[in-house]
Structure 1
Amino acid sequence: MRKSTLLTIVCVTVMVPMLLLGVSIKENKAAQQAINEVPKIPKLEPRSSEWGKYFPRQYETYMGTKKSDEIKDVLQGSPELVILWAGYGFSKDYNAPRGHFYMLEDNMNTLRTGAPLNPQTGPMPTPCWTCKSSDVPRLIDKKGELDFYTGKWARHGGEIVNPIGCADCHSNDTMKLTLTRDYLKRALDAEGSKPFAEATHQDMRSLVCAQCHAEYYFKDTEWTDDQGQKQVAKVVTFPWDNGMVAEDIETYYDQRNFVDWTHALSKTPMLKAQHPDYETFITGAHGKQGLSCADCHMPYVREGGVKYTNHQIGSPLDNIANTCLNCHSGTEQEFRATIAEKLARKDELSRTAMDILAKAHLEAKQAWDLGATEEEMKPALQDIRHGQWRWDYSIAGHGAFFHAPEETLRVLGSAINKGQEARIKLRAILAKYNAGDFQAPDFSTKEKAQQIIGLPYDKLVEEKQQFLNGLKQEWFKQGAEKGIYDPKSREGMELKTSYPN
């Protein structure tokens, strides 16, 4: 073979892969450039599919949250909860959280939001929409914060028709992370450790999550509308003025005599923890080491030369190789075993606390029935209030055992102590009224527990079905007529509830 022919073959062999590599690099650069470009998206555009036209990878992974679609009836597995929440909406219906794709759907379907007949009826106020929809920032911008937080939940039905999405966390002008709920900015400034103005990009990768994954209450705030009418807005407020640990927030509420509801059995002025994920996260090892929520729940993905954030938000345990094992040593099997051990410890203490506190409520009811006075009952009720708050704070953040296992176990231990102290005081009261041998009734099933608290379950379900087949359907029609409803946000969705539908 001639040297020239051999040389030609060698050159072709070398050059073809190089040319293909060059083409690939060019394509990857073009793809990455498209990601980095700022598209023209309207301000607070609630339809995530519109953002997805420019960010298809992020949108496709976000839509993957629809895979987390199973309904798990928590009350069925832990009937003590029905007793603990007697007189409060959670005793009606409480399911394990599903993917973000279902946030709005589950808010509409739960028995807790009732069965309103029109914008002025129903058991819940407007702020119950706050963390369920990308229409919320748009509506607050349109109406103003105080107006948005005024009135009944059903008032905004035809305006809130899309689940949480792109507009909740990103600026349409720059695509940078942004806070669309001002109550978090106010809370950070009030707490003082790091005012919002000092937040870094890494901080923002947690703070956009903290807008919704944090403890809050509805603060009554008086204002005057455009017609000169006095109104009261229930403004979402984070109780961080004293700090973010359980006892700090407990003190905040006690100082203001705040009550979420009065317990239907024990008459205790109760507190309900929401989902203090951010508060527990920053007290744990991950938060203290400067990690963000996104580092574990939204890990980076590489496709060739393109790097982007996975928006299929879920448990890091669903993707251990790309989350936990980036920092932790050992195998996936070993890591799962460690987490299971931690979870078992938390579950053991939580079950103990639930049983003690549920019995305390029932014993308090018996004491009231026998004629106990407010003066006699007040110390025991304060222990119930504090004990249940601490238990709830420990478990309402679903990843608390993972975020801060030591702190979670500490607070659960104090919840058990408070519950036991309440029962000791109640036993003394019951003995005074010749009922020292009182035994709490059987609440071993959801049905038995709901019967004890007098919950008209069948009636609630019947009314809810009428709402689902009526007003709920009208809301989406109204949203479509206004041009704000994104049909892709419900594509392939099935109606799933813990009650018959």
Structure 2
Amino acid sequence: MFRWFGSSFWRAMLGLAAALALLAGAPAAYAQKAKAYNAKDCYECHEAIQEFHEKSQHKSVGCDSCHSGLEAHRKAGKGRPVTNNDPASCGNCHKNQFRTMYTMNTEKAAHKEKAVAAGGALDKALAPHGFTREHNEPRSHAFALYDQLVVDRAFGGRFVNKEGRAGLTRMGGNFRIWDVLKDEFPGEPHKAFKPGTAAAANPVCMSCKTSDHILDWAYMGDPKPEAKWSRLSKVNEFVKDTNHALNCNFCHDPHSAGPRIIRDGLIQALSRPEKDTLWHKDPKGAKIEIKELGERGFTRKIATLSRYDAKLQCAQCHVEYNCNPGFDPVTGQAIGMDDQRTNHFPLKSVNDIGQHYKDLRFGDFKHAVTGATLWKGQHPDVEVFYNSVHQKQGADCATCHMPKAKDPKTGKQYTSHWQTSPRHYVKDACLGCHKSWTEKQALYSIDSLKNKWVGKMRKAEFWLTRLIDKYEAAQNMGVEPAVLAEARTKHSEAHIHWEFWSAANGGHFHNPQQFEESINKGMTISQAGIKLLDDAMAKRRAQGSASAAPAPAAAAAGPAAMVPVAAPAAK
């Protein structure tokens, strides 16, 4: 006779079965975890890795912790082990760092357009650049890769969330993008599929979001037969080989656990013979040692650091870098992704960036109305911070964005990797130095600086767009080409002193003094351009009036000509 038990009974039985299975497998699982792969077997061929690994904090971490397929690879000397770039593999040991890295800041919502705050001025200032399709403020690092695939300017509307708009409810976390995204146009080339979108993405710009491709990418993204991906790769195929946002190995060497950088454009900038970057002028900056790697027939490079220096490590992404095609402003010739200038880091201040690109002979785009050669900045946050009051006092990005925290269970100290606004940890980020302040005072100071920035930005946009409108009017009136050329030059210069601060994050706080000097300089240049065009149009109108007026009567000869003419009656 059967007796049906309640659901609580079956839940208990299932739990017991799971526990027994876990116990039965425990010895094998424990043995597998305890047995670390003998790294000395790998050192025989990978001598460069031995230098990193043998005496490092990770010396007890076996190669099989991050690589699989080692047995077959070692025996045959061929084949390719699989490398696990998932940050979760680091999170197995570095739990607090991993947890905070992918914690979401819900105050930074998705799709917050910069153009909204600018009241439409941004679209006029950047026309016809792809950023006019959608130019959002950044949100949590967990979405760095995801957001680049779904933004309207990058892939033309190709990729969408499998859950539709409901996908916006995802609260951060480390996730694989192809678990949540789908390609609505598989097999189609890279292009704009939907109205209001653009297809402006390329493999270089994706290298700021993920390092999943690092082992298949030659130095500078140069096309090499042995390298799977390059600057010239089809980006819609390239992204299918990525999954994770901002891998740990951007800043931490997996073999030595030491600080490093991997962005090749930055490494090239730091090794330029001119020694002209902001880092070169920083006597307190970390020292670097460039290492050439690559076991697959092509060169890769990384740079190890003498110590953690967040200015350099954050400069892998939070920096102005060129990652797109353009043109030579001198010849007008197009510059394609086959040219290394499409993977270039200036690492210069707002006052030097314009001349740098002139010397490089690279222009981003020509303005839709004036035809001026304009620069589209990325996010020159590190450049802004250099030479600021905080930087001169010894602070760096981590001081405010990655403060030390304590594990509530163990009491051990760790570095928070949340990397969001210091508003969320004012006590740790601000009050350690400003000891006489309260948290309320610190927040009041931050908000006041932001207010100043907002006001100045709106004023700069007024004068910049006014210059564009004046140019159009002057051109329609037939003002001399030489005057229009001079106005275009002023447009290019004024644009830099607005765009630098429009593209930067937190410029109001990172370097408020430099911001005010630069934004005021840009407004002055815009106003000078407006006056130039106003004067030229006034002259043109005067010339038109003179040519339209009836010709004066010929003067009579002889004494009669000396007879005075009565003045017209007053009206």
TM-score, normalising length from structure 1?
A: 0.72
Written as runs of structure 1 = structure 2, the 5 A alignment for 1:359-374 is 359-374=466-481
Q: Which of 158, 162, 181 is 2:263 aligned to?
A: 181
Q: Which has the higher contact order (CA 8 A, sep 6+)?
A: 1
Which residue does 1:204 correspond to in 2?
309
Q: Is the CA contact (8 Å cut-off) linking 2:259 and 2:307 kept in structure 1?
A: no
Which residue does 2:231 correspond to in 1?
149
- Is the partner of 1:308 in helix, strand or coil? strand
Unaligned runs of 5+ in 1: 1-34, 222-229, 437-501
Q: Which of 369, 378, 397 is 1:274 aligned to?
A: 378
Which residue does 2:439 correspond to in 1?
332
2:134 is the alignment partner of 1:83 = no
1:97 Cα deviation from its structure 2 partner = 0.7
1:318 Cα deviation from its structure 2 partner = 1.2
Which residue does 2:501 correspond to in 1?
394
2:399 is the alignment partner of 1:295 = yes
2:254 is the alignment partner of 1:172 = yes
- Is the partner of 1:217 in helix, strand or coil? coil
Letter in 2 for 1:101: A
Post-superposition Cα deviations, 1:430-468, rounded to whole Å, max 9, x if no partner, equal 3344499xxxxxxxxxxxxxxxxxxxxxxxxxxxxxxxx
CA distance in 2, matches of 1:167, 1:44: 12
TM-score, normalising length from structure 2?
A: 0.63
Q: Which of 100, 125, 138 is 1:61 aligned to?
A: 100
Q: Is the CA contact (8 Å cut-off) linking 1:277 and 1:399 kept in structure 2?
A: yes
Post-superposition Cα deviations, 1:418-441, rounded to whole Å, max 9, x if no partner, equal 1111111121233344499xxxxx
Change (3 A) 1:220 1:317: same
- Is the partner of 1:301 in helix, strand or coil? strand
Which residue does 2:28 correspond to in 1?
none
Letter in 1 for 2:264: D
Unaligned runs of 5+ in 2: 1-55, 68-81, 159-184, 192-198, 224-228, 291-303, 327-336, 544-571
Change (3 A) 1:44 1:317: farther
Q: Is the CA contact (8 Å cut-off) linking 2:259 and 2:305 kept in structure 1?
A: no
Q: Is the CA contact (8 Å cut-off) linking 2:220 and 2:340 kept in structure 1?
A: no
1:239 Cα deviation from its structure 2 partner = 1.7
Which residue does 2:281 correspond to in 1?
193
Q: Is the CA contact (8 Å cut-off) linking 2:220 and 2:264 kept in structure 1?
A: no
1:386 Cα deviation from its structure 2 partner = 0.8
1:142 Cα deviation from its structure 2 partner = 9.7
Q: Which has the higher helix share?
A: 1
Letter in 1 for 2:66: I
Q: Is the CA contact (8 Å cut-off) linking 1:185 and 1:196 kept in structure 2?
A: no
2:204 is the alignment partner of 1:127 = yes
- Is the partner of 2:97 in helix, strand or coil? helix
Which residue does 1:255 correspond to in 2?
359
Letter in 2 for 1:51: C
Letter in 1 for 2:126: W
Letter in 1 for 2:217: I
Post-superposition Cα deviations, 1:325-381, rounded to whole Å, max 9, x if no partner, equal 111131011111122222222222111111110121122123223334542211111
2:415 is the alignment partner of 1:376 = no
Q: Which of 83, 96, 110 is 2:137 aligned to?
A: 96
1:237 Cα deviation from its structure 2 partner = 1.0
- Is the partner of 2:370 in helix, strand or coil? coil
- Is the partner of 1:326 in helix, strand or coil? coil
Written as runs of structure 1 = structure 2, the 5 A alignment for 1:333-482 is 333-434=440-541
2:320 is the alignment partner of 1:215 = yes
Which residue does 1:322 correspond to in 2?
428
Q: Is the CA contact (8 Å cut-off) linking 1:82 and 1:91 kept in structure 2?
A: yes
- Is the partner of 1:237 in helix, strand or coil? coil
Q: Is the CA contact (8 Å cut-off) linking 1:74 and 1:96 kept in structure 2?
A: yes
Letter in 1 for 2:499: D
Which residue does 2:5 correspond to in 1?
none
Change (3 A) 1:151 1:417: farther
- The root-mean-square deviation of aligned C-alpha atoms, in Å, is 2.8
1:231 Cα deviation from its structure 2 partner = 4.4
Q: Is the CA contact (8 Å cut-off) linking 2:483 and 2:532 kept in structure 1?
A: no
Q: Is the CA contact (8 Å cut-off) linking 1:70 and 1:98 kept in structure 2?
A: yes
Change (3 A) 1:299 1:257: same
1:178 Cα deviation from its structure 2 partner = 1.2
- Is the partner of 1:65 in helix, strand or coil? coil
Which residue does 2:66 correspond to in 1?
41
Q: Is the CA contact (8 Å cut-off) linking 1:86 and 1:264 kept in structure 2?
A: yes
Written as runs of structure 1 = structure 2, the 5 A alignment for 1:225-264 is 231-232=338-339, 235-240=342-347, 244-264=348-368
Q: Is the CA contact (8 Å cut-off) linking 1:184 and 1:211 kept in structure 2?
A: yes
Q: Is the CA contact (8 Å cut-off) linking 1:177 and 1:205 kept in structure 2?
A: no
Change (3 A) 1:204 1:428: same
1:46 Cα deviation from its structure 2 partner = 2.5
1:314 Cα deviation from its structure 2 partner = 0.3
- Give the percent of matched residue pairs that are identical in Structure 1 and Structure 2: 24
